[in-house]
Amino acid sequence: MQLLIDKELNSHDKILKPDFNSRTGRELLVFYLQTKFRQILAYDRRCAAPIFVEVNPNFIANFSKRLINNPHKRLLIGITGESASGKSTICKELKKIIEQLSMPVSVLSTDNYFNDISQLIKEYGSFDNLRDNGYDVDAPTSFQLDILKEDLQKLSVGSDVKIPMYLPNGTGISVPHAQEVISRKIIVVEGIATMYEQVKDIFDVKIYVEAENDIRKARFINRACKERNQSEENALKHWDYITSAGEKYVKPFRNNADLVLNGNADLKYFSKILEYIHTITNNFQ
């Protein structure tokens, strides 16, 4: 991928920067981006561990129409996948590259839109007791999807928002309007709730991240024990819950995704793809 980046930077055969305010300019830009995206896919297919598992055959055409016909709307990218599939890790790498390259991107997680269940946790004594008594943590009804939808709609038209902050410390507390999210040109939203029915159609690009179950399980247990101070016994019990919930609520979306990504791909390779995308969108004559 570095070879493609160097070739792009050193090329003398560059197009004049299109006038994005004109339809003709946008059509030229879209044709250029289509060519480059197909180049990325061709390169990726030759890799030992490709990051693109599947690409919806209608994605390029649909995305092109969106860029041409509605250029002023912010670009909303939704990233979902089962727990420990790698979506959060990919977004962390994305944030790092954003900072390095000063890309106009904002990133937020739907985990912040969990309902406030602090009172329920007090009644049952702990989050684990609440779960064990049938509370369906990952169900669509366990999220503030109405607020998420409203926030995404505001971001899409250029308005900054203050989103909730769910505290991942076992208290179940959700603090309203706690974090500011700036409406930049690209809004990336990750989390299992990203593609739930109430909000999925807001997104311009829908991405599903997947990884093998044994890899996901090892990640999940390690994270639960080391980062969240859970016992291995309780982590395994919660793993059983999330695998069942993932099959029910998250996995069905895979067939409707624009892109299916390998959640176990090399992050350095992923970062180079992002760097190449940044290069081709900013390297006009």
pLDDT at position 172 is 93
Integer Cα distance of 279 and 281 in angstroms? 6
CA distances to 17, 18, 202, 209, 210 from 56, rounded to whole Å, are 29, 28, 18, 14, 15
Q: Between 247 and 234, whose confidence is greater?
A: 247
Asked if pLDDT for residue 13 goes beyond 90, the answer is: no
Asked if pLDDT for residue 33 goes beyond 80, the answer is: yes
pLDDT at position 223 is 85
pLDDT at position 6 is 77
Q: Between 243 and 279, whose confidence is greater?
A: 243
Picking from 119, 121, 112, 126, the residue whose alpha carbon sits closest to that of residue 175 is 112
Instruction: Read off the pLDDT of each residue in 257-273 and give the average, rounded to a whole number.
Output: 92
Q: End-to-end CA distance of the chain: give it in Å, rounded.
A: 22
Task: Quote the CATH superfamily of domain 52-264.
Answer: P-loop containing nucleotide triphosphate hydrolases (3.40.50.300)
Asked if pLDDT for residue 252 goes beyond 90, the answer is: yes
> pLDDT tens digit string along 124-158?
999 889 989 999 999 999 999 999 999 999 999 99
Asked if pLDDT for residue 278 goes beyond 90, the answer is: no
Q: Where are the domains of the chain?
A: 1-51+266-285, 52-264
Cβ distance 239 to 221 under 8 Å?
yes
pTM over 0.85: yes
| Per-residue confidence band for 199, with pLDDT thresholds at 50, 70 and 90 | very high
Cβ distance 273 to 265 under 8 Å?
no
> pLDDT tens digit string along 55-86?
999 999 999 999 999 988 999 999 999 999 99
Instruction: Read off the pLDDT of each residue in 191-209 and give the average, rounded to a whole number.
Output: 95
pLDDT at position 276 is 86
pLDDT at position 234 is 84
pLDDT at position 122 is 95
Find the range with the poorest average confidence among 29-33, 105-109, 160-164, 248-252: 29-33
Integer Cα distance of 32 and 235 in angstroms? 48
pLDDT at position 285 is 60
